[in-house]
Structure 1
Amino acid sequence: MPFYRKPRNFTPISIVSEKKATKNGVHHAIFTSRFDKYVGDWKHDLKEGKGTFLTISGKLYEGDWYRGFRHGFGTLSNRLENGKFSLEYRGDWVRGKPEGVGWRYYANGDVYCGHWKDGQQHGYGKMWYANGTYYVGYWKGNLKEGLGMFIQENGNRYEGHWQNNLKHGLGRFYHMHTGQLQEGCWEAGLCVKSKMADIIIRQCCDLPTEYPIPPEQLKNSKKILEESDFWLQQNIGHIDKKLHYCIE
C-alpha cells in the first residue's frame, strides 16, 4: 500500500509566499503605513529605476532610484494649497541627497545653480538672492569659500577670496557709484590694508568724486606691500577657468 513520504529537500510555504510578495518590476501604486504613495520600478523589494513618490505632507519626487534611495537625476517639488506644485530642487542625487550639479529654489526667493556634495552647496556655483544681490564663485558646506565675486544691490562689487562666508584674503572692491577701485587685504569681512585708485569710467558714475585721487608719492609702494608680512601670509589660490573672467 503506497504511503506519502515527505521529501528531504523542500521549500516551506512561508518562504514561497514571502518570495511572491517581494516587489519586482513596475507597480502602479504602493502605499506606505503613512499613506505615502509610490508609483514606479522595484527590484528585490526596493525602489530601483524610475519612479514617483508623493508623501502625505505634499513633497513630490520624480526621477531615478537605486536600492531605495533617490539616486541619479530627479526633481523635488512641494504641493501648494491650490493643488499645484512648486519646484524645490532639480538635479543630481546620490543616496538620497543632492550631489553633483543642480538647481535649488528656496522659499524666500533665493536661487542657486551649481555643484552639491552630501546635500550642501560645495564647489563652483552661482546664487541669485531675493534682495537683488548676486554671488558667483566657490562654496564649501553652504558657505562662500575660495575665490568669488559678490555684486551688491547698488552695483558695487567685490572680487577676491572668501572664508567662512566672509571676505578674507586678497581682493578688489569696485565702488561703482563713486568710480573708485579699492585693492588690498580683507580679514573676517573687514578691509585691513588697501590702496585706492580711480577707475577709467569715474566721470560716468552716479556720484563721482569731485577731484580724481592724486597720484601716489610713496616710492616703490608695490614692493613695500609685497614684502610685508601680512601680504605674504595671504593665499593667492588657483583661479578656475570658469571664474577667471570675474577676477580679471
Structure 2
Amino acid sequence: MPFYRKPRNFTPLSVESEKKSIKNGLRHAIYTSRLDYYKGEWNNDKKEGKGRFLTIKGYLYEGDWYQGFRHGFGVLSYREAETGIFKLKYRGEWVRGKPEGIGWMYYENGDMYFGYFKRGLRHGYGKMWFKDGTLYVGYWNKDERDGLGMLVERSGNRYEGNWQGSSRHGLGRYYHLHTGQLQEGCWDHGVCVRSKMEDIIIRQFCDLPTPYPIPPQELYDARAILEGSELWLKQRLGDIDKKLQHCIDQMD
C-alpha cells in the first residue's frame, strides 16, 4: 500500500537472540561457565525432565530434574582421581536438590544407610551399617539416632530401647550375649543409671558364659527392713525416684 509506513517500534537483535537461545527440549551438550557438563531435557531455560550432569570436580548426577533442581529419582556418584572409576554416593528420591524420601547413602569411610531422608539428613526410620560391623535399626531425627531403635554390636551384644542425640536414653534392654545376661533398666545420655540383670536361656551356649548363674532375688524379712529404712520413711505416697521418673517421662 502506498500510504503504509513501517512503525518505528522494533525488537532489538539482542532480545531476539536471547529468545532464540532459551533452551527447550533435549540438548546434547551444554557447558556452564565453570565447564560443568549437562545433557538432557530443558523447559523454559531450566533443567526439567531426564538429564545427566557432570561437574568439573567429578560429581555425576543422573536422573530427574524439575525447575533446575534435582527432583524425583536420581543417582549421585563421584569419580575417583586415582582410578577414574565412579563410586556411588546416593541413589533415591530428591526434593529441590536435596535427598528427601527413601534412599541409599554411601559414605566415604565405608558406612552405608538405607531409609528416610529429609532435607538431606537422615530423618525417620532407617538402617545404618557401620564399617566396623555394627548395625543400627530404628528411628532418626536430623541425622541423630532418636526414638526407638536397636543397635547390634560387632561382638553380638545388642541394645533395644530408646535413644536421644545418638545416645541410649530412656528405658531399654541390653543383651550381653557374650556372657549370657539381659540387662533391663534406664539410661541417661548413654549411662545406665538403674537396671536389673538376669540370665538368658542360652547362657551356657555363649562365648564367655559366667561360671555360675545369677541366683534368684529374694528379700527376707522385708517388712522389718522397710520399717527401719530412713529412705522409705521419708517417702510420701506417689513419690518416685527422680532418675526413674525422668525415664518414664521420655515415654510420654
| TM-score (ref. length: structure 1) | 0.88
Distance (whole Å) between structure 1 residues aligned to residue 26 and residue 97 of structure 2: 21
8 A Cα contact 1:92 1:98, kept in partner: yes
Shift of residue 231, structure 1, vs aligned partner? 2.9
Query: What is the alpha-carbon distance in structure 2 between the residues aligned to residue 126 and residue 205 of structure 1?
Result: 26
CA deviation after TM superposition for structure 1 residue 97, in Å: 0.4
Residue pair 1:148, 1:162 contacting (<8 A) in 2 also: yes
Aligned equivalent of 2:233: none
Query: Unpaired segments of 5 or more residues in structure 1?
Result: 220-225, 239-248
- 1:90-101 to 2 correspondences below 5 Å: 90-101=91-102
Residue 48 of structure 1 aligns with which residue? 48
1:18 alignment partner in structure 2: 18
Q: What fraction of aligned residue pairs are identical, expressed as a percent? A: 65
Counterpart Cα distance in 2 of 1:236 and 1:212: 33
The match for 1:203 is 204
Q: In the alignment, is residue 31 of structure 1 matched against residue 31 of structure 2?
A: yes
Q: Distance in 2 between matches of 1:197 and 1:6?
A: 99
Structure 2 match to 1:150:
151
- Secondary structure, aligned partner of 1:15: helix
Q: Which residue of 2 aligns with 1:64?
A: 64
Q: Aligned equivalents of 1:143 and 1:160: distance in 2?
A: 15
Q: For this pair of structures, how many residues does the alignment match?
A: 232
Shift of 1:71: 0.4
**Distance (Å, rounded) in 2 between the aligned partners of 1:105 and 1:54:** 19
Q: Are 2:63 and 2:73, in contact at CA under 8 Å, matched by a contact in 1?
A: yes
Q: Separation in 1 of the partners of 2:3 and 2:54?
A: 56
Partner in structure 1 of residue 236 of structure 2? none
Where in structure 2 are the equivalents of 1:1-248 lying within 5 Å? 2=2, 5-7=5-7, 11-80=11-80, 81-218=82-219, 228-234=241-247, 235=249, 237=251
Q: 1:182, CA displacement in angstroms?
A: 0.2
CA RMSD of aligned residues (A): 2.0
Post-superposition CA distance 1:157-214 (Å, at most 9, x none):
0000000010000000000011000000000100000000000101111111111111
Deviations 1:93-145 (A, max 9, x none): 00100000000111110000000000000000000000111100001111100
Is the contact made by 2:170 and 2:251 (CA closer than 8 Å) also made in structure 1?
no
Moved over 6 A (4+): none
Give the Cα–Cα distance (whole angstroms) in 2 for the partners of residues 16 and 51 of structure 1: 27
What is the CA–CA distance in structure 2 between the aligned matches of 1:8 and 1:233, rounded to whole Å?
81
User: Residues of 1 paired with 2:159 and 2:199: CA distance?
Assistant: 16
Look at both structures and tell me which one has the larger radius of gyration over its CA atoms: 2
